[in-house]
Amino acid sequence: MSSTPLAPTCDSAAAIGMSPAKGRRLDGGTLAIVVVTVIIWASAFAAIRAGLKAFGPLELGAARFSIAAVPAGLYLLMTRPALPRLNEVWRFAAGGLLFVALYTALLNLGERTVPAGAAAFIININPIITAVLASFLLGEQFGRWGWIGTAVSFSGIGLIALTETMGNEAVGSGTGLQLGWGALLVLGAALCNSITTVVQKPLFVRHKALTVSASNMVIGALALSPWLPGAYAQAQTAPLPGLMAALYLGVMPSLVAYATWTVVLSRMPAARASNFLYCAPPLAMLLGYLWLGEVPTVMGVIGGLMALGGVAIVNLKR
């Protein structure tokens, strides 16, 4: 009875340009990178809400990734990595266009009405989508305990969404989660995340994780650059907390966390790695309270604990 997602077999790996996955054990170094990634990304939801008080949704995204793209571009110039093969170009493009530009645009637009903690729980439908895509495209599969853990975590996310929708002691502005365009936009961002996770996994056979991440930053920043002049104009009158939020987003959740996430994906099967992201919503809810005063509900806390419990089942019951 296996609960660990299986890597592609030799034949299926060769068919999609991958080598068989190595090193299935979760070592201490990889776990530390996962923890750093989850904490930083959890903080991004509150930072976006803070940044939206000073910038428009697309302008905030343009400012965020223009900051991240500078050191990322310098890294590529200094290391001079191997150019992508012709059949890899679309995978690099997908990372920049989907995982950076479109993901950021959809999430920022959605968070205009969706509180930070609730947005984090909606985004974290991503591991379910990733598990399905990875099963079909990468040959990765969950055993019985893997799917049980996923169901427990997903139920916790559903409990949070239901509580927010009912508006019982709602998080954030006091209006609860508005299941309209805002929530649908955040769901669209989750889909972008899942697609990119699966599409870019084969790149780690030939390219370093930091090379992939830096390329994503540069391509995404270029895609968002039409909104950069507007961001500059808005920055002239933006309050200091909004400016600091944009700077934080550019350095930590973008430059640092995107890099650490690609390192995680280079060491672990895509579906299993994505399950760690279930830890982000409870942290985002806590940070939303500390940073923005968004008070979580009792049922929300229970849902968060269920999400964490599902992660434990998937990754410890082997």
pTM of the full structure: 0.74
Residue 9's pLDDT is what? 28
Write out the two tokens for 173. 């502005």
Beta carbons of 294 and 28 less than 8 angstroms apart: no
In order along its 318 residues, the chain shows pLDDT tens digits of 333 222 222 222 322 333 334 445 567 788 888 888 989 989 999 999 999 999 999 999 999 999 999 999 999 999 999 899 999 999 999 999 998 999 999 999 988 877 888 788 778 777 667 776 766 666 666 677 777 877 887 787 677 666 655 653 434 444 444 445 777 788 889 889 888 888 888 898 899 888 998 999 999 999 999 999 999 999 998 899 999 999 999 999 888 887 788 788 778 776 677 777 778 888 888 888 888 888 777 777 787 778 778 777 766 654
> CA–CA distance from 211 to each of 4, 104, 159, 255, 275 (Å)?
28, 20, 38, 12, 24
Give CA–CA dist 255/86, Å, rounded.
26
Beta carbons of 243 and 275 less than 8 angstroms apart: no
Residue 108's pLDDT is what? 95
Q: Which residues are CB-contacts of 85 (< 8 A; sequence separation ≥ 6)?
A: 206
Residue 23's pLDDT is what? 44
Residue 21's pLDDT is what? 43
Write out the two tokens for 150. 């996923």
Give the burial class of 23: count Cβ atoms within 10 A of its Cβ; 0-12 exposed, 13-18 middle, 19 or more buried: exposed
Residue 12, Cβ neighbours under 10 Å: how many? 15
Give CA–CA dist 310/318, Å, rounded.
13
Give CA–CA dist 64/247, Å, rounded.
7
Q: What is the CA radius of gyration of the chain?
A: 19
